[in-house]
């Protein structure tokens, strides 16, 4: 096994490209590994984080006429952007998607989608075999059962894939709070999608901006 370690193994926004696969109503209807609401939230947060850091994002669906359009929470992040609609179950066999990824010139390939055991695992395993550095965002993905999701993660790890959650990825892209270029945009994503952390941040801002009563102390 080739170990993924060292500074160069951390993800960088300037080297990353994100592919969001089949976040559609049909797949959501049989999502049983996660709370569906959480997956919608997490996939939206992932999309917003990618936009905040200028990471090219490829949107793709499968037979949208039958399976439904991508969640509007995602497509609203990229207004007017084409969603590549496929017939291939395996996204990495669709030339239009692969060409769009290659056109970015980036090699840190990040994937999330529904379902983990099918529409995520297939392209991940193929791309790994073709030399891509692949990361799967597990909490913006989901399977038809807990077992299906977890077994597919094990399968992808065995093939050499890296596993992360959306907040871990966003933090790795930020890396240093002294890098202020994207900090405000990232903070806005956290406020709306990071649950307790986002609410705690808003509370902190409230306290910092609330004058002490005159008789305090």
| Segment 126-145, tens digit of pLDDT | 999 999 999 999 999 999 99
Residue environment code for 87-98, b if the CB has 16+ CB neighbours within 10 A, otherwise e: ebebbbebeebb
pLDDT the model gives residue 215: 65
pLDDT the model gives residue 2: 64
Helices within the chain (DSSP H only): 25-29, 36-52, 64-67, 72-75, 95-103, 121-129, 146-159, 166-174, 183-193, 196-208
- Average of pLDDT values for 182-198? 89
Contacts of 190 (CB under 8 A, 6+ apart): 167, 170, 197, 198, 201
Look at 5-9, 25-29, 54-58, 160-164 and tell me which has the smallest mean pLDDT.
5-9
pLDDT the model gives residue 91: 98
165 — phi, psi (to 5°)? Answer: -105, 165
Q: Is 138 a catalytic residue?
A: no
How buried is 155 (Cβ within 10 angstroms: 0-12 exposed, 13-18 middle, 19+ buried)? middle
Distance (Å, whole) CA 76 – CA 26 = 19
Taking the mean position of all CA atoms in its chain, how far away is CA 194? 14
Q: Which residue among 18, 45, 100, 119 is the active-site one?
A: 119
How buried is 206 (Cβ within 10 angstroms: 0-12 exposed, 13-18 middle, 19+ buried)? exposed
CATH 3.10.129.10 corresponds to the domain 13-174: no
Question: Quick one: angle between helices 146-159 and 121-129, nearest 10?
Answer: 0
User: Would the pLDDT of 194 be above 60?
Assistant: yes
Please provide the distance, in angstroms rounded to a whole number, between the alpha carbons at the two ends of the chain: 61
Give the three-state DSSP class for 194: coil
pLDDT tens figures, 77-121: 999 999 999 999 999 999 999 999 999 999 999 999 999 999 999
- Average of pLDDT values for 27-48? 98
pTM of the model as a whole: 0.93
Is the model more confident about 199 or about 94? Answer: 94
pLDDT the model gives residue 168: 97
Write down the number of H helices and E strands in the chain.
10, 6
List the chain domain ranges: 13-174
Average predicted confidence (pLDDT) for the chain: 94
pLDDT the model gives residue 1: 52
User: Would the pLDDT of 213 be above 80?
Assistant: no
Q: What share of the chain is helix, strand, coil (3-state, %, to 5)?
A: 50, 15, 35
């Amino acid at each position: 096994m080739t170990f993924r370690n060292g500074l160069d193994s951390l993800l960088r926004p300037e080297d990353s490209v994100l592919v969001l696969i089949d976040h559609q109503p049909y797949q959501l209807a049989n999502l049983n590994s996660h709370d569906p609401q959480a997956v919608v939230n997490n996939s939206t947060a992932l999309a917003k984080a990618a936009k905040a850091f200028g990471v090219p994002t490829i949107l793709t669906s499968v037979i949208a006429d039958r399976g439904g359009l991508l969640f509007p929470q995602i497509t609203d992040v990229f207004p007017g952007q084409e969603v590549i609609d496929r017939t291939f179950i395996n996204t990495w066999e669709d030339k239009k998607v692969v060409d769009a990824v290659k056109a970015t010139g980036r090699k840190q390939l990040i994937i999330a989608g529904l379902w983990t055991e099918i529409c995520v695992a297939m392209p991940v395993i193929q791309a790994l075999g073709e030399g891509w550095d692949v990361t799967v965002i597990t909490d913006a993905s989901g399977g038809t059962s807990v077992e299906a999701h977890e077994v597919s993660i094990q399968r992808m790890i065995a093939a050499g894939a890296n596993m992360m959650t959306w907040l871990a990825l966003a933090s790795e892209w930020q890396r240093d709070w002294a890098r202020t270029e994207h900090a405000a945009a990232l903070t806005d994503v956290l406020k709306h999608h990071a649950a307790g952390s986002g609410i705690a941040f808003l509370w902190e801002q409230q306290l910092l901006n609330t004058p002490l009563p005159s008789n305090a102390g």
